[in-house]
């Protein structure tokens, strides 16, 4: 489902865009879609950031032991 929005711009801007064969509605649609995507991604990253800051760090030497265990299993 879609909705209609309207935007006011100076007449001069519209004329310049039309003279240069710019599809104004398509450009506005593309810009708003990209903006919405960036906002969605930013919120996702903020959620992950919060999750990661709440996690306690692993104990010292954990990675070394883990790698050695993996190598020993093969």
Q: Are 64 and 57 in contact (CB under 8 A)?
A: no
Structural domain count, the chain: 1
Considering the domain boundaries, does residue 73 fall inside one? no
Instruction: Judge whether 7 lies within some domain.
Output: yes
Range of the domain at 4: 1-55
0.85 exceeded by pTM: no
The whole-number pLDDT of residue 32 equals 97
Q: Please check whether residue 23 lies inside any domain of the structure.
A: yes
- Note the helical H segments in the chain: 11-19, 24-54, 62-73
Chain segment 31-66, per-residue pLDDT in tens: 999 999 999 999 999 999 999 998 888 888 888 888
Question: What are 1-41's pLDDT values in tens digits?
Answer: 999 999 999 999 999 999 999 999 999 999 999 999 999 99
């Amino acid at each position: 489902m879609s909705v209609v929005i309207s935007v006011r711009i100076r007449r001069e801007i519209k004329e310049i865009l039309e003279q240069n064969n710019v599809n104004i509605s398509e450009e506005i649609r593309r810009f708003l879609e990209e903006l919405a995507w960036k906002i969605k991604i930013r919120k996702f990253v903020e959620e992950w950031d919060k999750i990661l800051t709440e996690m306690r760090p692993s104990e010292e030497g954990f990675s070394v032991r883990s790698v050695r265990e993996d190598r020993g299993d093969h």
